[in-house]
Chain A
Amino acid sequence: MFRRLAQSLVRTTQFRFVSHDYQAIVNAKKCVVFMKGTPDAPQCGFSRAVIQMLEAEGVDLNNEISAHNILEEDGMREEMKEFSDWPTFPQVYLNGEFYGGCDIMYDDYKNEKLRGILLEAKLTLPEH
């Protein structure tokens, strides 16, 4: 009985995200995007929308953000869903903290709050 208990304890606490060091990845840049496809060739409308919104706000996609293609990288698709506690992609991290997906970004973009949020995350944006 104790063996069972110990096993389940280990299972819940063990580091299940074995394919990549996600904590390091989300801390690597001020803005990290987990998407389907790449910024140059998005493979999903929602992923494309996120990239377009970042571009519209003037984010330098080459230097300020890092983008990860969850369709290509081993294990990332399933493990990021657990890591972020979020069931869908794209997933956007700002300063190591999960910000949201396309709908949330679009909402902020529509209400003109996105620029402020990106500036708060210390991204460098061009003057209006």
Chain B
Amino acid sequence: MNILRAVRSANFLARKTFSSVRPFSQSQILLVKEDELHKEIQNAFPEGQISVEDASNGCGTNFNIQVVCDSFDGKRAVNRNRMVNKVIKPYMEEIHMIRVETFTKAEFSSS
């Protein structure tokens, strides 16, 4: 009788302790990944050279993004960045910091 009670309470305790822990796979889905961002940006700038780097050591919170594309030609820096920002806007809730660098092909080769 005592053993049963002990097992039951242990069960109860275990369930309580681990109820708030997310299963491993679920937390991976919430993490913003370099590849995902890269793909999204590449889709928006098909002929561009894209570079996405996770600057938060895999935490998915800080990113350095570089886009080289001639569609930036003639546009102010602000508007170029906005073109990129629009693409990553859905991810901005999870991302804390981004560094976006935009170049035309000519500017990039001379930098």
Report A's interface with B, CB cutoff 8 A: 85-88, 98-100, 103-104, 107-108
Contact = CB atoms under 8 A, between A and B. Distances in A.
Contacts of A108: 77
Given A86-B85, A88-B97, A88-B98, A99 B78 contact: yes
Contacts of B81: 86, 100, 104
Interface residues of B, number: 12
A88 B78 CA distance: 12
A59 B12 CA distance: 66
Interface of B: 77-78, 81-82, 85, 89, 92, 97-101
Given A87-B85, A87-B89, A87-B92, A103 B99 contact: yes
Contacts of A87: 85, 89, 92, 98
B77, B99, B100, B101: which has the most chain A beta carbons within 10 Å? B77
A87 B81 CA distance: 10
A32 to B, nearest CB: 15
B101 to A, nearest CB: 7
